[in-house]
Structure formats: C-alpha cells, structure tokens
C-alpha cells in the first residue's frame, strides 16, 4: 500500500492557509469561503480513501494492523539519534484523520454562515486552515519532535483563533491565558522529550512503543528519586498532554477560550485540539503501560477521573451555555484519560484503550454538534447566557432536534453514539478499580443532568419575550448540524474494537448488560431530574442551590481555581521570586554592564584631552618621548 | 676650522639653540612665534651640518649643499606659512593657536 | 682672538634666541631672530664658508625675516602684548628642554669625533660645480626638485594669500 498520497492531506490546508493569508485583502469573502470548504472537502475525501485502504484493502498483516512510515531524516545528531519528518499511519492516526477531517469540514461549512459579514472573514478561514494543517501534522507525526512542533503549531493557531475578536479585551486576555498555560505545560513535555531522547537514544514512535523494544525493556536502567527516569519523562509528557487536554489543574484556560468564535470552540476546544493530549498518551500507550508497571498510567487514570468529576460539578452551576459545554468537554476528556489509565494491553485487556479512542471519536461528533447548535442559538438570540433564552423550540426546530440528539448522545441514551463508547469506558473502569467506576458512573449522571439542564433551559423553560423573534439559522449552518446529528446517532454502531486497539490486533466487544443498564439508568435519572427542575419555570433549582449553600457557591466560582492561580503567580511568584530576580538583574547584572559603559565614557572624557588637536601638545609629547627613549637607550643599553 | 675652538663647543651652542627653539615651539601661543621657533630649530640643524662637514670631512661639500637645500626649503616653508597665516587672519581675524583649534573639526 | 669672537657670537646667538622666544612683543621677537640669524652667518664666516654666510644673510635675514615682519605688520598691532603659556607649563617645558639638552650634551661629549685639522677654503666655484654636476655625487637632481618646489610654493602662496575672488570684490 502506497501511503505517499497521504502527504497531500496536510498539504492542502497548508496551501489554503498560505493562499488565503497572502491574498487576504484581495480575495472576496464569498470566494475564500468556498475555497476553504472545497480544500477541506478534498482533504476529507482523501482521509476516507486512506481509511478505507488501510482498514479494508490493505487490512491486517499477520493478524495485526501494521504501522507504516514514510519519512526523511531532517536533523542528524548522531548516527542513531536523528529527527525525521514524515507520516506514520496506524489505526489511531487514521481514526484521527477521519475525526479532524469531518469536524473541520463541518466547521468550515458552518463558518460560512456563522461568520457572514465579519470583517476578517478571509483571515478566519486562513486561521482555520492553519489549524487544520497543524492538527493533521500532529496526528501523522512519526516522532516526538515532530509531534512537538505541530503541538506548538496547534497552540499558536488556537491562540490566534481565541483572540480572533482582538478588539475585545476579554478575548485577548483569554488568548494569552490559553497560550501561557499550555506553554507552561509544554515545558514539561519538552523536558520529557529530551529525557527520552537522552536515555533511549531515539524519538521514533515505532521504536519507542515496541513492547519488545529496548526503550521499554530497559526502563529500569536509570532511576531518579525512586522512579525510573523514563517514568519521570512520561509524567512530564503527560503534563504537556494535560495542558492541552485541560486536565486538572491545568484546565483554567479552556473555559476562557470560549471567548473565541463558536465554530472555533467546536473545532479546536471540543473536537480536535483538546484531544491531542489524549492522543499523545494513546500514542505512547505501550510506554505508559509497560514502564514501571504502569505507574505513570495510574496518574493518568486518577487525574482523568478527578478532572471528570470536578468539571461536571462546575458545569452544573454555570449560566453561560458555552462555558457549560467547555466544562463538559473537560469532563469528557477526563473520561478518556480515565479510560486510557485503566486499560490493559493485550486483546480484551485493552478495552480501556479502545474505549478511550472510541469515546474520542464519538465525543468529537456530538460535542462539535453541541457547540455548533449552541452557536446557532447564540447567532439567533445574540447572547451566551441561559437567562436570555427559553422556548426556542418553536423558533428553531432543526437546531432543537439536532441539539436534542447530541444531548442524548452525551448523556448515554441508547442507541446513540455516546452510549456505546461510555459503556466501554465503564466496563474498563469496572474491571480495573471499583472506586474509579463509581466516580465514572456518578459523572455520567451529572453529565446527563447538566446537558439537559441547558437543553431545557434553551429550548423549553420559561417563555422569554424576544425583541426580535429568533429565526432558524441558514442552510449553511443547519446542514452541518444535520450531518453531525446523523453521525452522532450512528457512529456508535461502528465495530470500533475491530479496528483500534492497543495491540492493533482487534477483538470482539460485547455489551456488558448489567453495567450498561446501570449507566443508562443513571443517565435517565439525570435527565429526569433536569426535566423536573428546568422543564418549566420552577423554584426547585433555587431551593437546591440554597440547600447546598456554600458548596454551590464554590462550584459556581469554579472552586476559585483562577483566584488560586492568581494568588500563586501574583503574590508568590511575582512578588517573592520574580521581583527579587528582577532587582538582582537590574542592580548587579545590568549594573555591571552599565558601570563598565559609564567607566569607559568617564575614562575617555578624562583622556580625550590628550587628543586635543593642538600641534604643540603633540610636539610636547613627542619631545618627552624622544628624551625618555634617549635616556633609556643611553643608560639601559649601554653595552 | 676655528682656531682654538673644538667641535664640542660649537655643537653645544647649536644644541642650546635647538632646545630654545623647541621651548618656543611648545610654549608660544601665536602662529608667527611658532614660525620663528621653527626657524631657530632649522638653523641649529643647518649649523650642525656645516660644522660637521668642516671639522670631520673638510674635502667634501655635501654638508654645505644640504645646508643650501635646507635654507631653500625653509624659505619655501616660511613663504607658505606666512600666506596661510594671512589667509587665516582674513577668515577668523586672529592668529592665536587657540582660535585655530576649530580647524580640527 | 678667534676664541673671543666665537664666544661672543655664541653668547649673542643664545641670548637673542632666548629673547626671541620669550619676548611678548611680536615685532621685537622677529628682530631678535634677525640677530640670531646674523650671528649664525658670522659663524659661517668664521669657518670659512663665505658663500653659505652670504646665503644666510640674503635669504634668511633679507628674505625670511622681512617676510615675517610683513606678516606681523599685516596681522598685528605693534603694541599687542602676546599671550604666553601658563607658568607651570613653562616650567615643565623648560625642564623637559633642559633634560633633553642634558641628554644631547652627554651623548656629544661621550663621542669621540675624529677631527681633521685643516684650513681649507671652499670657493663658490666648487660649490656651484658640485651643485650642477651630472656625474656621480652631483646634486643636479635635488637642485631641480628644489626649483620645482619653490615654484609650487610661489603659486601656492599667491593662491592662499590672495583668498577667494568673491571676498575681494565684496
């Protein structure tokens, strides 16, 4: 199977980015929209061709979906240690290609309607293309360094798109926050990469993740503070992944990132970029699993579980629908991390890995749909806040139906997509650790509750009087909604375990009926509670909010995480550390240099009198020199 | 040859003359005075040429010829210097060294 | 007799040279210089270089000093008191010159000159022949070079002293 045509998939958006970026002022908005959509369409078609070829034409070799690499050496350090540039094709990268292509295409189509009339229309599409290119590069990367490069590129495009409304102060602040927080996390990632490169002598995923390879077998060779250095490196890499995937405590940027345009939130902060962290852990999964008996993997599991719970609780209290969705995203990402963390490697043991990827896949569809639906609502009522909405089902039927499908999917109602993937996650958690299982079930209930809370809040609930009656969005926006709704309803039937597993062998998954029943029941309870609370205007929510009292307040203020960060950075880091360092720098480092400069100036002003330009002074010096030299020659060199 | 006078005495006189010229060159603040000092220095060296020629190599004439050339060059130099001084006086109205310092810029 | 003559000439030369560099009146300074030059001419006479003495008198005393006097008259008031260097500088320069003189004299007196006793008289004819000789040791080339130099200086002096045409018409 030739994989060279896959190079075209990332190159198309790159070309689009350059084209739209350079011709920014000279291209008509309507034209640039079509160019973007058509380009993405070609990438999507190629992705599907690649997936079809990989899974069905090429198929398994010796019962395994093999990894294929096409790369060239980019930088040479030593004969063994070098950085390549190329593409790596294996089940998860093919799956990610599909996810990125589909969501990106839908978002492109949707943006044509949503961004209509915006000043930077072409610029927006250029940025979207840049992001898509970076994301393709990320999922196709053959080694740690390449993934790091594209990792930063998606960070940059995320920064650009969050700060898209750059005249708005909050958007600028949010963009900076997202960039700085993820940058900080990426520092850990980079250190991890360097440690791995130093101790294993390779950056290539294929070599690193080979269970019989030297990188995994020799993990115990060097240890540091009671753990293998490789484990430390993996923890640091996970830190990078946690930053991108908004895991606790590096999640603070994600809710603020909602300042960006809604299609951006759907593409970057729901479906693709934020799952890069999950993807990274999945990419290095054999290392996480085998090194130090999965010590790093346990961290992944607990961080994921805690983030899922933490975010779900906050999501219940938020009033801005995009923020609810943002916390929901964080919660679901925690789910995926949890699933990875509880996974095994061989055969059916690897159900967690498979479930995580499956959930990533389905989540991308229904979360993008939720965001796009929310965008459609926001487009109609010009507000993000729940209190400005209500009773919209009569005005926006298509949005209503598609949003409902997505909400049921995320709540795990059978037979929609979320049910299947979530069920697998619960199975994996149940087999691994009961506590994690209970957390996961509880979170599933919370998820159903908060998502239906906003669903009822938007489309049912109180009858809000609108100044302008909201209209259903144009076809360019409803078309992606319908497509994604169909996908959200059906992708759950894809026999995912046949294709994507930790050992690339594939197994047959069965539904664990008792667990599925419990999960579904929990979801339904959540939905019913939301129905009771929010279907009609009632006092129930306020009563319960008061019952929980301070806890509600805490959750409403996101457990004061932002304030904690501000305290740590401002009060401790800036005042105690940075200020002193700055003082030292100014006083001693700068002082030395300035002092040298000043002394030089001083000395030269003093001695510049020697260069008076007066011939007589020179003659004086000349005579002195002659006499002194004469004396020296007479008395010292007498022989 | 001066009867009864050794070369040392003559050279002593010229040395004194030379250093008087140097002293004047360094201390005077006026272009014409400096010119005079230069004449003194030149004269001292001319006398040296001549005297050494006469006392040590009386059958040769090179010292005398050099003296003639030096006098010619000194005359040329003086003429030029005087014209420069006059031109300068026209420009800045002074022949003090301190006033000519602006020329170095 | 000749000793007395020499010493008196030496004293005249040194005293007037000192007076020349020390005088605060420009014109006097030039006149003192004239005396010095005349004294040196006398010295030439004493060592039987009559031609050289004549040149000294005509070119130096007659030409250069007159030129300098002209310039003094053109650019100075007769009664102008010249500025003189500050006292510390005078002392420093004086000490420097004295030490230089000491070095000179020390070197002179520690060198043994091979003086050839003679009483030769140099005629003007021999000087002229030597000056215009083409043969080895002849000075025709420097003579011509000096001629060109004098010509160039003449033109240069005229151009410089004349100044710009414009300033004249103004």
A630 touches chain C (CB under 8 A): yes
Interface of A with C in 566-625 (CB under 8 A): 620, 623-624
Residue C36 pLDDT exceeds 90: yes
Q: Which residue of C has its CA nearest to A620?
A: C93
For residue A609, the distance in angstroms to the closest alpha carbon of chain C comes to: 15
Provide, rounded to the nearest whole percent, the portion of chain A with pLDDT above 90.
Answer: 3
Chain C residues in contact with B14 by the CB 8 A cut-off are none
Write the pLDDT tens digit of every residue in A176-199. 888 888 888 889 899 998 888 888
Delimit the domains of chain C by residue range: 1-96, 121-165
Inter-chain contacts counted by CB atoms under 8 A, chains A and B? 17
Write the pLDDT tens digit of every residue in A587-598. 888 889 999 999
Give, to the nearest 10 degrees, the angle between helix A229-244 and helix A169-200.
160
B59 touches chain A (CB under 8 A): no
Among candidates A612, A613, A619 on the partner chain, residue whose Cβ is nearest the Cβ of B26: A619
Task: Tell me if B65 and C127 make a contact (CB, 8 A cut-off).
Answer: yes
Query: Which chain A residues touch B if contact means CB-CB below 8 Å?
Result: 612-616, 619-620, 623
Contact A224, A232 (CB under 8 A): yes
Write the pLDDT tens digit of every residue in A443-486. 888 888 888 888 888 887 766 666 677 777 788 888 888 888 88
Chain B residues in contact with A620 by the CB 8 A cut-off are 26
pLDDT of residue C35: 92
By C-alpha distance, which of A376, A361, A326, A328 is closest to A487? Answer: A361
Residue B10 and residue B70: Cα distance in Å, rounded? Answer: 19
Write the pLDDT tens digit of every residue in A198-251. 888 788 888 888 777 777 777 777 777 778 888 888 888 888 888 888 888 888
Among candidates C26, C40, C90 on the partner chain, residue whose Cβ is nearest the Cβ of B47: C40
Task: Tell me if B29 and C126 make a contact (CB, 8 A cut-off).
Answer: no
Chain B residues in contact with C55 by the CB 8 A cut-off are 68, 71
Residue A623 pLDDT exceeds 70: yes
Q: Which of A609, A615, A625 should we substitute to test contact with B (largest number of B Cβ atoms within 10 Å)?
A: A615
Provide, rounded to the nearest whole percent, the portion of chain A with pLDDT above 70.
Answer: 96
For residue C103, the distance in angstroms to the closest alpha carbon of chain A comes to: 7
Chain A residues in contact with B97 by the CB 8 A cut-off are 614-616
Chains touching A by CB (3 or more pairs below 8 Å): B, C
pLDDT (mean) for C46-53: 88
Q: Between these two residues, A516 and A43, which has the higher pLDDT value?
A: A43
**Is residue A541 very low, low, confident or very high in pLDDT (cuts 50, 70, 90)?**
low
Among candidates B25, B34, B104 on the partner chain, residue whose Cβ is nearest the Cβ of A613: B104
Write the pLDDT tens digit of every residue in B25-82. 988 888 888 899 999 999 999 999 999 988 888 888 888 899 999 999 999 999 998 8
For residue C93, the distance in angstroms to the closest alpha carbon of chain B comes to: 6
Q: Find the DSSP H helices in A502-590.
A: 513-534, 540-548, 550-556, 561-566, 579-584
Inter-chain contacts counted by CB atoms under 8 A, chains A and C? 19
- The length of chain B in residues reads 105
pLDDT of residue C106: 87
**Is residue C78 very low, low, confident or very high in pLDDT (cuts 50, 70, 90)?**
low
Write the pLDDT tens digit of every residue in A296-346. 888 888 888 888 888 888 888 888 888 888 888 888 888 888 888 888 887
**Is residue C170 very low, low, confident or very high in pLDDT (cuts 50, 70, 90)?**
very low
Chain A residues in contact with B25 by the CB 8 A cut-off are 616, 619
pLDDT of residue C86: 81
Q: Which residue of C has its CA nearest to B4?
A: C3
Give, to the nearest 10 degrees, the angle between helix B31-56 and helix B7-27.
170
Hey, what domains does chain B have and what are their CATH numbers?
Answer: 7-100 (1.10.287.3510)
Among candidates B22, B27, B101 on the partner chain, residue whose Cβ is nearest the Cβ of A614: B101
Q: Between these two residues, A495 and B74, which has the higher pLDDT value?
A: B74
Chain A residues in contact with C100 by the CB 8 A cut-off are 623, 626-627, 630
pLDDT of residue A540: 66
Chain C residues in contact with A627 by the CB 8 A cut-off are 96, 99-100, 103
Residue A141 and residue A83: Cα distance in Å, rounded? Answer: 11
Chain B residues in contact with C48 by the CB 8 A cut-off are 1, 54
Among candidates B22, B27, B97 on the partner chain, residue whose Cβ is nearest the Cβ of A614: B97
ipTM computed for the complex: 0.89
Chain B residues in contact with A615 by the CB 8 A cut-off are 97
Task: Tell me if C160 and B3 make a contact (CB, 8 A cut-off).
Answer: no
pLDDT of residue A465: 67
Q: Which of A630, A633, A635, A639 should we substitute to test contact with C (largest number of C Cβ atoms within 10 Å)?
A: A630
Backbone angles phi, psi at A633, to 5 degrees: -70, -30
Mean pLDDT rounded to a whole number for chain B: 86
Chains touching B by CB (3 or more pairs below 8 Å): A, C
Q: Which of A95-104, A222-231, A630-639, C161-170 has the highest mean pLDDT?
A: A95-104
| Per-residue burial over C138-156, b = 16 or more CB atoms within 10 Å of its CB, e = otherwise | ebeebbeebeebeeebeee
Task: Tell me if B22 and A619 make a contact (CB, 8 A cut-off).
Answer: yes
Helix or strand holding residue A74 (H, E): strand A68-76
Helix or strand holding residue A345 (H, E): none
Prediction pTM value = 0.67
- Nearest-5° Cα angle at A342, A341 to A345: 95
Lowest mean pLDDT among A131-135, A427-431, A595-599: A427-431
pLDDT (mean) for A71-76: 81
CA A32 to chain centroid, in Å, comes to: 27
**Is residue C147 very low, low, confident or very high in pLDDT (cuts 50, 70, 90)?**
very high
Task: Tell me if C107 and A630 make a contact (CB, 8 A cut-off).
Answer: yes
B34 touches chain A (CB under 8 A): yes
Mean pLDDT rounded to a whole number for chain C: 85
Question: Which of C33-41's residues contact partners 24+ apart within 8 Å by CB, and which partners?
Answer: C33/B36, C33/B39, C33/B40, C33/C65, C33/C68, C34/C61, C34/C65, C36/B17, C36/B40, C36/B43, C36/C12, C37/B39, C37/B43, C37/C61, C37/C65, C39/C9, C39/C12, C39/C13, C40/B43, C40/B46, C40/B47, C40/C13
Q: Which residue of A has its CA nearest to B103?
A: A613
Among candidates A612, A613, A623 on the partner chain, residue whose Cβ is nearest the Cβ of B22: A623
pLDDT of residue A222: 76
B52 touches chain A (CB under 8 A): no
- The length of chain C in residues reads 170
Under CATH, which architecture does the C1-96 domain have?
Up-down Bundle (1.20)
Q: Which residue of B has its CA nearest to A619?
A: B26
A435 touches chain C (CB under 8 A): no
């Amino acid at each position: 199977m030739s994989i060279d045509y896959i190079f075209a998939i990332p190159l198309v958006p790159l070309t689009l980015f350059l084209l739209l970026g350079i011709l920014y002022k000279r291209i008509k908005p309507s034209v640039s929209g079509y160019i973007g959509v058509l380009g993405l369409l070609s990438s999507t078609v190629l992705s599907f061709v690649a997936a079809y070829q990989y899974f069905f034409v090429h198929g398994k070799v010796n019962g395994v979906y093999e990894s294929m690499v096409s790369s060239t050496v980019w930088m040479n350090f030593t004969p063994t240690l070098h950085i390549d540039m190329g593409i790596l094709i294996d089940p998860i990268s093919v799956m990610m290609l599909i996810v990125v292509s589909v969501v990106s295409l839908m978002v492109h189509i949707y943006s044509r309607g949503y961004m209509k009339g915006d000043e930077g229309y072409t610029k927006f599409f250029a940025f979207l293309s840049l992001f898509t290119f970076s994301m393709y590069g990320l999922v196709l990367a053959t080694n740690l360094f390449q993934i790091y490069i594209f990792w930063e590129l998606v960070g940059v495009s995320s920064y650009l798109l969050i700060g898209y409304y750059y005249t708005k102060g909050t958007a600028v602040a949010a963009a900076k926050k997202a960039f700085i927080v993820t940058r900080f996390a990426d520092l850990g990632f980079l250190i991890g990469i360097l440690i791995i490169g130093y101790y294993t002598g390779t950056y290539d995923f294929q070599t690193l993740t080979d269970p019989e390879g030297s990188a995994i077998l020799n993990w115990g060779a060097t240890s540091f503070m009671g753990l293998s250095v490789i484990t430390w490196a993996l923890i640091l890499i996970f830190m990078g992944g946690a930053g991108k995937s908004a895991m606790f405590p590096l999640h603070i940027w994600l809710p603020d990132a909602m300042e960006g345009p809604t299609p951006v939130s759907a593409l970057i902060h729901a479906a693709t970029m934020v799952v890069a962290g999950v993807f990274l852990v999945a990419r290095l999964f054999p290392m996480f699993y085998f090194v130090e008996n999965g010590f790093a993997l346990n961290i992944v599991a607990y961080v994921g579980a805690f983030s899922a719970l933490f975010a779900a609780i906050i999501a219940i209290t938020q009033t801005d629908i995009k923020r609810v969705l943002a916390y929901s995203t964080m919660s679901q990402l925690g789910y995926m991390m949890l699933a990875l963390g509880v996974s095994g490697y061989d055969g059916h043991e690897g159900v967690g890995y498979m479930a995580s990827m499956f959930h990533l896949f389905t989540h991308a569809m229904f979360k993008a749909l939720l965001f796009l639906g929310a965008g459609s609502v926001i487009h109609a009522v010009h507000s993000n806040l729940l209190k400005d909405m209500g009773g919209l089902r009569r005005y926006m039927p298509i949005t209503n139906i598609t949003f409902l499908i997505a909400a049921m999917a995320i709540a795990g109602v059978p037979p929609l997509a979320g049910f299947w993937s979530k069920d697998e996650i619960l199975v994996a958690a149940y087999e691994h650790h009961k506590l994690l299982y209970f957390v996961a079930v509880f979170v599933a209930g919370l998820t159903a509750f908060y998502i239906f809370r906003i669903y009822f809040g938007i489309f049912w609930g109180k009858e809000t009087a609108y100044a302008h009656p909201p209209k259903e969005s144009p076809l360019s926006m409803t078309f992606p909604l319908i497509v994604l709704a169909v996908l959200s309803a059906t992708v759950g039937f894809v026999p995912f375990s046949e294709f994507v597993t930790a050992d690339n062998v594939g197994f047959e998954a069965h539904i664990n009926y008792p667990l599925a029943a419990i999960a579904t029941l929990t979801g339904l309870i959540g939905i019913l509670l939301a129905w009771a609370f929010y279907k009609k205007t009632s006092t129930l929510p306020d009563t319960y909010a008061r019952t929980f009292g301070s806890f509600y307040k805490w959750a409403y203020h996101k457990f004061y995480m932002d304030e904690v960060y501000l305290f740590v950075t401002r009060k401790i880091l800036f005042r105690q550390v940075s200020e002193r360092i700055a003082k030292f720098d100014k006083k001693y480092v700068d002082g030395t240099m300035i002092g040298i400069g000043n002394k030089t100036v001083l000395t030269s002003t003093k001695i510049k009198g020697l260069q008076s330009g007066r011939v007589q002074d020179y003659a004086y010096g000349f005579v002195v020199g002659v006499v002194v030299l004469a004396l020296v020659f007479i008395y010292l060199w007498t022989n | 040859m001066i009867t009864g006078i050794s070369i040392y005495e003559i050279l002593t006189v010229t040395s004194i003359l030379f250093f008087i010229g140097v002293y004047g060159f360094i201390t005077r603040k006026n272009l014409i005075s400096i010119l005079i000092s230069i004449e003194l220095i030149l004269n001292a060296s001319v006398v040296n040429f001549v005297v050494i020629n006469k006392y040590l190599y009386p059958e040769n004439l090179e010292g005398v010829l050099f003296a003639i050339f030096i006098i010619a060059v000194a005359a040329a130099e003086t003429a030029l210097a005087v014209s420069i001084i006059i031109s300068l006086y026209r420009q800045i109205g002074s022949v003090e060294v301190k006033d000519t310092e602006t020329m170095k810029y | 007799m000749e000793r007395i003559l020499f010493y008196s000439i030496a004293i005249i030369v040194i005293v007037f040279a000192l007076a020349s560099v020390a005088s605060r009146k420009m014109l006097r300074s030039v006149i003192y210089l004239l005396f010095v030059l005349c004294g040196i001419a006398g010295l030439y006479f004493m060592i039987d270089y009559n031609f050289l003495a004549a040149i000294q008198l005509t070119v130096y005393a007659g030409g250069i000093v007159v030129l300098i006097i002209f310039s003094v008259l053109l650019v100075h008031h007769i009664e102008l008191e010249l500025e003189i260097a500050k006292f510390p500088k005078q002392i420093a320069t004086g000490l420097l010159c004295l030490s230089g003189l000491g070095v000179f004299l020390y070197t002179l007196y520690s060198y043994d000159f091979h003086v050839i006793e003679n009483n030769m008289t140099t005629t003007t004819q021999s000087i002229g022949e030597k000056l215009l000789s083409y043969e080895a040791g002849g000075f025709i080339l420097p003579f011509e070079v000096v001629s060109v130099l004098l010509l160039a200086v003449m033109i240069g002096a005229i151009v410089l002293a004349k100044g710009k045409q414009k300033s004249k018409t103004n």
